[in-house]
């Protein structure tokens, strides 16, 4: 009994409070028969629970209170059999689901479950009979090994229980045995018996039974397995490039055992072995010649052997022994193809010739011989190259035949021929409806045969594959009976291929039909870089570069333009894959936008970089539309004003530039004839150009001679004489400041004193007053803003003193002769007003004229006598106007409260 089972039984004893010294008969309440059985699975098992008398008294239970349990599974009562009042049996089909232990239980006092007894059991299967017992004797040197190895089939059922295997051999009355594994064993005979039979079998045993295999009766020589052959030699002969001679040594002496052999071989790089028929090697031979091999090809050879009569076992194959066959002339022509490139304006074009190395070159290639034949002429040229392609230059207007052959040390291969028609020749019909699809990681090309070609005329099809990113070209040939094929070669995903199908009419290629395809597409590697080609007020013209072919990774399906401005939702526009320039309209003016372009393929999309631009504030032409009309209007207005000025120039001239008398013709220069002429430098202009000076005109009454004293008359005559004598010395010949007209005063004859004239005075205002009854003071002239030369009396202070104080006789300058006195009759005299300090260029100073009456004072040069000049025909219009005005006469009104605007002038005017 196992230790675990003992511990469980002790636990039961402790639960029942049975002393360990109690007899087995009084053990708890009863027991189970049998105890600790070994049971075969899937068979019926019967157990009996017997209650003891003491147990029945203690628990007051009978056979009716007994029930059975497999661990946690309570067995139904229909499996119970009541033997008597103290014994109950159970019969069940034991399976793997019924777990141990098996316990017998009662209801103590009809209420409490109590374990009476429990058993642990083992389950399993009895051993199966071994099948297919085989044994072999190994080689040891030139004889047999004393060990015999055997193997067998133990069966498919696991016995579960511990099972022992024993290999047994019997020779005569001697037995040899050894413990073995489940399916293999080995016997040591010390010396292997030969030429005698030995019986061999296997014994198998466990707790449920014992069994033996069928006995094998063999002669150890008939079950020998030789060791692999070692000393194998292979020889290549130059005279026989298709053969190899294989040689070996026999494993056993012929008198001891004769052998048969088996030879196999294969080309290096291939995993397909070819075996020599056994009929050729079933004798006791030591060499064999392999035939039908390829020249200049490396082969691996293996050999094995066994007993000549066919008994026993084949040895393992020998290790590989390699050799190369001798060279021979190439037997297969190369695979020739061409790519015709577009020609230029000359009569020549480039043709790329390509060929593949033939599979059976039968030796080391020295080179390739290329021959070009023009048309049907015998003229040709040949050259030899080492590569597998050649670019040649051919004339367009000639048919060319290209022949290529492989050359090695033993000769040349058959020629591969290809015709290149002239450029203007009509091409032969091509295939139709070329398509390409990717299936299971391969490209499949399908097409339809030419429809207008006689069946059988097409010899084969050529499929040309060009990688568009690397410009590498490959091709393959398909027979004329197929219309689809898988593209061979190392195709890469994400690469675009240009696939063309050519029908071959002998050695002339028909018209190509092409299609582009990808083995596998993906999203583009890079996105487009966009920039603004032209910006406007409400639109922008965007442009982006093409995605490089090696970065497209698939066929581009569309471009999507995304743009948005700050604070607005993003908008998008989808354009075709051929579009690389687009104008976005309806944008806000003077706004900043962010734009990017997304490129899409069937397998995904990629965004380009962001580009920021700002729309213009004004559209082209907006500023011109405003400025040009304004300029045109301004020009029109200017022209209109100029025309108006030209049309109304006399009216404008009269209001802006009235006629000004010429001061050079004024008689004021003759008032003081004794005053010497001083030539002083011209005065600085005191009136800026363009300023206006107000002119006031007063009425002056003719003085009555009777009211004047003699002294006054004399003084007046002297003054008049002076000014009349210096008629050309007056400085009032020009305009004052050249911007505003002035009025001047002229004298009149005594006889015409009753008349009144009005002249323009440019620098002063004359004021009339009555007789003062005294000698007039020295005249003081106020400074004028006029740029005209001053009068002599104003330039010389002594003259001023003379006029101002005649009675005192200081520096008197009177007429020296009576004729001068008579020439200047008595008239009113002038008296300068007080000195004015105001220098503002506004109103003219006033000149008081003393007299008894306020009547007009006339000055007319025509009545002054011989001292006054009349305006002649050559005189200026201004002088004529002034003379006329003196004759006509007018009575000006006196302007009141005329402000003083000239500085007092201490010097006279400079004469002109």
**pLDDT of 453 higher than 70:** yes
- Asked if the 432-518 domain carries CATH number 2.60.40.10, the reply is yes
Q: What is the pLDDT of residues 871-894, one digit of tens each?
A: 444 444 434 444 434 334 434 444
pLDDT at 765 (0 to 100): 45
| Superfamily name and number for 3-124 | Immunoglobulins (2.60.40.10)
CA-wise closest residue to 427 among 450, 402, 410:
450
Element of type H or E holding 16: helix 3-16
> What confidence tier does 486 reach under pLDDT thresholds 50, 70, 90?
very high
Average pLDDT of the chain? 76
Which CATH fold would you assign to the domain 335-420?
A: Immunoglobulin-like (2.60.40)
pLDDT at 576 (0 to 100): 95
pLDDT at 757 (0 to 100): 37
Distances (CA, A) of 73 to 68, 88, 101, 106: 9, 18, 10, 15
pLDDT at 54 (0 to 100): 80
| Superfamily name and number for 227-324 | Immunoglobulins (2.60.40.10)
* Across 532-560, average pLDDT: 94
The sign one gets for the Cα dihedral 62, 68, 74, 75 is negative
Boundaries of every domain in the chain: 3-124, 131-224, 227-324, 335-420, 432-518, 530-614, 622-654, 661-912
- Considering only residues 840 and 163, tell me which one the structure prediction assigns the higher pLDDT: 163
pLDDT at 716 (0 to 100): 45
Find out whether the peptide bond into 101 is cis, omega within 30 degrees of 0: yes
Residue count (the chain): 912
pLDDT at 783 (0 to 100): 47
Q: What is the pLDDT of residues 4-50, one digit of tens each?
A: 444 444 434 444 433 333 333 344 578 888 887 888 888 898 999 99
- Considering only residues 152 and 57, tell me which one the structure prediction assigns the higher pLDDT: 152
Centre a 10 Å sphere on the Cβ of residue 130 and count the other Cβ atoms it contains.
24
pLDDT at 837 (0 to 100): 41
> What confidence tier does 447 reach under pLDDT thresholds 50, 70, 90?
very high
**pLDDT of 831 higher than 50:** no
pLDDT at 734 (0 to 100): 39
* Across 570-576, average pLDDT: 95
pLDDT at 652 (0 to 100): 82
Tokens of 15: 């639960």
- Considering only residues 881 and 648, tell me which one the structure prediction assigns the higher pLDDT: 648
Ordered alpha helix ranges (H), 431-518: none
- Report the DSSP pairing between strands 764-768 and 845-849: parallel
| Lowest pLDDT segment from 315-319, 342-346, 454-458 | 342-346
pLDDT at 669 (0 to 100): 62
Which CATH fold would you assign to the domain 530-614?
A: Immunoglobulin-like (2.60.40)
Give the three-state DSSP class for 338.
strand
| Lowest pLDDT segment from 291-295, 432-436, 459-463, 712-716 | 712-716
pLDDT at 728 (0 to 100): 40
> What confidence tier does 333 reach under pLDDT thresholds 50, 70, 90?
very high
Residues 414-447 as b or e (16 or more Cβ within 10 Å = b)? eebbbebeeeeeeebbbbeebebeeeeeebebbb
pLDDT at 456 (0 to 100): 78
- Considering only residues 264 and 694, tell me which one the structure prediction assigns the higher pLDDT: 264
Q: What is the pLDDT of residues 488-539, one digit of tens each?
A: 988 999 999 999 999 999 999 999 999 999 999 999 999 999 999 999 999 9
**Rounded Cα–Cα distance for residues 490 and 476 (Å):** 13
* Across 427-454, average pLDDT: 91
Percent of the chain with pLDDT over 70: 70
Of the segments 578-587, 875-884, 899-908, which one has the largest average pLDDT value? 578-587
**pLDDT of 840 higher than 50:** no
pLDDT at 378 (0 to 100): 64
Same fold, 3-124 and 530-614: yes
* Across 385-406, average pLDDT: 91
> What confidence tier does 674 reach under pLDDT thresholds 50, 70, 90?
low
Tokens of 362: 């039968």
- What is this structure's pTM? 0.51
**Rounded Cα–Cα distance for residues 484 and 433 (Å):** 11
* Across 434-451, average pLDDT: 93
> What confidence tier does 112 reach under pLDDT thresholds 50, 70, 90?
confident
pLDDT at 36 (0 to 100): 76
**pLDDT of 569 higher than 50:** yes
3-state secondary structure 128-181: CCCEEEEEEEEEECCEEEEEEEEEEECCCCCCCCCCEEEEEEEECCEEEEEEEC
Judge residue 126's burial from the number of C-beta atoms within 10 Å of its C-beta, 0-12 exposed, 13-18 middle, 19 or more buried: middle
Q: What is the pLDDT of residues 753-800, one digit of tens each?
A: 333 333 444 444 444 444 444 444 444 444 444 454 544 444 444 444
pLDDT at 169 (0 to 100): 93
Tokens of 892: 């000006």
Q: Do the Cβ atoms of 613 and 543 come closer than 8 Å? A: no
3-state secondary structure 188-216: ECCCCCCCCCEEEEEEEEECCEEEECCCE
For tokens 């003699």, name the residue.
710
> What confidence tier does 672 reach under pLDDT thresholds 50, 70, 90?
low
**Rounded Cα–Cα distance for residues 29 and 494 (Å):** 86
pLDDT at 886 (0 to 100): 39
- Considering only residues 684 and 566, tell me which one the structure prediction assigns the higher pLDDT: 566
**pLDDT of 87 higher than 50:** yes
- Asked if the 131-224 domain carries CATH number 2.60.40.10, the reply is yes
Sequence-distant (6+) residues with CB within 8 A of 750 are 705, 825, 826, 827
| Lowest pLDDT segment from 215-229, 445-459, 471-485, 605-619 | 445-459
> What confidence tier does 670 reach under pLDDT thresholds 50, 70, 90?
low
């Amino acid at each position: 009994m196992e230790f675990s089972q003992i511990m469980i039984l002790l636990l039961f004893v402790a639960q029942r409070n049975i002393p360990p010294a109690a007899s087995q008969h009084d053990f708890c309440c009863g027991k189970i028969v049998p105890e600790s059985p070994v049971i075969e699975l899937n068979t019926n098992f019967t157990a009996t629970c017997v209650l003891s008398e003491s147990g029945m008294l203690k628990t007051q239970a009978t056979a009716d209170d007994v029930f059975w349990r497999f661990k946690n599974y309570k067995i139904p009562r229909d499996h119970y059999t009541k033997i008597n009042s103290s014994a109950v049996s159970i019969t069940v089909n034991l399976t793997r689901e019924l777990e141990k232990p098996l316990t017998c239980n009662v209801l103590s006092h009809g209420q409490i479950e109590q374990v009476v007894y429990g058993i642990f059991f083992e389950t399993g299967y009895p051993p199966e009979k071994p099948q297919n017992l085989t044994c072999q004797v190994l080689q040891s040197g030139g004889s047999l090994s004393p060990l015999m190895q055997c193997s067998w089939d133990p069966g498919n059922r696991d016995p579960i229980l511990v099972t022992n295997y024993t290999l047994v051999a019997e020779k005569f009355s001697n037995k040899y045995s050894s413990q073995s594994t489940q399916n293999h064993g080995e016997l040591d005979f010390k010396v292997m018996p030969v030429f005698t039979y030995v019986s061999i079998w296997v014994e198998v045993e466990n707790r449920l039974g014992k069994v033996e295999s069928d006995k094998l009766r063999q002669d150890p020589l008939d079950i020998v397995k030789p060791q692999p052959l070692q000393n194998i030699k292979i020889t290549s002969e130059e005279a026989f490039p298709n053969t190899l001679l294989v040689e070996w040594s026999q494993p056993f002496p012929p008198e001891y055992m004769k052998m048969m052999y088996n030879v196999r071989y294969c080309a290096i790089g291939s995993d397909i072995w070819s075996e020599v028929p056994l009929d050729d090697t079933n004798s006791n031979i030591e060499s064999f010649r392999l035939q039908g091999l390829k020249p200049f090809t490396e082969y691996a050879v293996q050999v094995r052997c066994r007993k000549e009569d066919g008994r026993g076992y084949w040895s393992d194959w020998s290790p590989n022994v390699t050799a190369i066959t001798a060279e021979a002339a190439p037997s297969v022509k190369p695979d020739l193809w061409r790519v015709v490139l577009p020609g230029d304006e000359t009569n020549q074009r480039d043709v790329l010739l390509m060929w593949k190395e033939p599979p059976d070159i039968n030796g080391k290639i020295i080179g390739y011989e290329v021959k070009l034949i023009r048309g049907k002429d015998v003229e040709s040229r040949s050259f030899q190259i080492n590569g597998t392609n050649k670019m040649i230059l051919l004339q367009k207007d000639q048919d060319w035949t290209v022949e290529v052959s492989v050359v090695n040390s033993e000769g040349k291969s058959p020629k591969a021929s290809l015709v290149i028609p002239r450029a203007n020749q009509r091409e032969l019909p091509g295939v139709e409806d070329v398509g390409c699809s990717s299936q299971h990681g391969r490209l499949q090309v399908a097409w339809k045969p030419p429809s207008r070609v006689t069946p059988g005329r097409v010899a084969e099809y050529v499929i040309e594959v060009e990688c568009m990113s690397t410009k590498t070209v490959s091709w393959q040939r398909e027979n004329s009976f197929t219309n689809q094929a898988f593209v061979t070669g190392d195709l890469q995903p994400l690469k675009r291929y240009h696939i063309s199908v050519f029908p071959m009419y002998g050695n002339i290629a028909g018209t190509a039909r092409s299609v582009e395809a990808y083995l596998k597409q993906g999203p583009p590697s890079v996105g487009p870089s966009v920039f603004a080609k032209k910006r406007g007020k409400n639109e922008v013209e965007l442009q982006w570069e093409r995605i490089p072919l090696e970065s497209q990774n698939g066929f581009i399906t569309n471009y999507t333009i995304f743009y948005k401005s700050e604070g607005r939702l993003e908008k998008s526009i989808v354009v075709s894959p051929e579009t690389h320039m687009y104008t976005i309209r309806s944008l806000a003016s003077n706004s900043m936008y962010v734009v990017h372009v997304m490129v899409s393929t069937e397998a995904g999309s990629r965004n380009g970089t962001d580009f920021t631009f700002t729309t213009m504030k004004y559209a082209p032409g907006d500023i011109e539309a405003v400025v040009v009309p304004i300029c045109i209007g301004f020009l029109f207005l200017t022209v209109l004003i100029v025309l108006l000025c030209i049309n109304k120039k006399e009216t404008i001239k009269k209001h802006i530039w009235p006629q000004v008398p010429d001061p050079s013709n004024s008689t004021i220069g003759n008032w003081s004839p004794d005053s010497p002429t001083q030539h002083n430098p011209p005065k600085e202009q005191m009136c800026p150009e363009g300023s206006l000076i107000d002119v006031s005109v007063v009425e002056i009454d003719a003085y009555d001679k009777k009211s004047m004293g003699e002294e006054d008359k004399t003084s007046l005559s002297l003054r008049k004489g002076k000014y009349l004598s210096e008629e050309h010395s007056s400085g009032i010949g020009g305009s004052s400041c050249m911007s505003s007209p002035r009025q001047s005063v002229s004298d009149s004859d005594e006889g015409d004193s009753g008349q009144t004239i009005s002249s323009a005075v440019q620098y002063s205002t004359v004021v009339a007053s009555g007789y003062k009854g005294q000698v007039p003071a020295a005249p003081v002239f106020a400074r004028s803003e006029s740029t005209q030369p001053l009068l002599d009396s104003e330039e010389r202070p002594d003259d001023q003193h003379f006029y101002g104080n005649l009675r005192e006789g200081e520096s008197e300058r009177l007429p020296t002769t009576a004729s001068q006195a008579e020439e200047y009759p008595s008239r009113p005299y002038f008296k300068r007003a007080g000195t004015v300090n105001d220098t503002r260029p506004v109103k003219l100073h006033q000149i008081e004229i003393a007299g008894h009456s306020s009547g007009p004072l006339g000055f007319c040069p025509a009545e002054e006598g011989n001292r006054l000049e009349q305006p002649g025909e050559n005189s200026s219009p201004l002088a004529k106007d002034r003379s006329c005005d003196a004759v006509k006469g007018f009575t000006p009104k006196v302007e009141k409260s005329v402000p003083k605007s000239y500085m007092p002038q201490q010097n006279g005017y400079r004469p002109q």
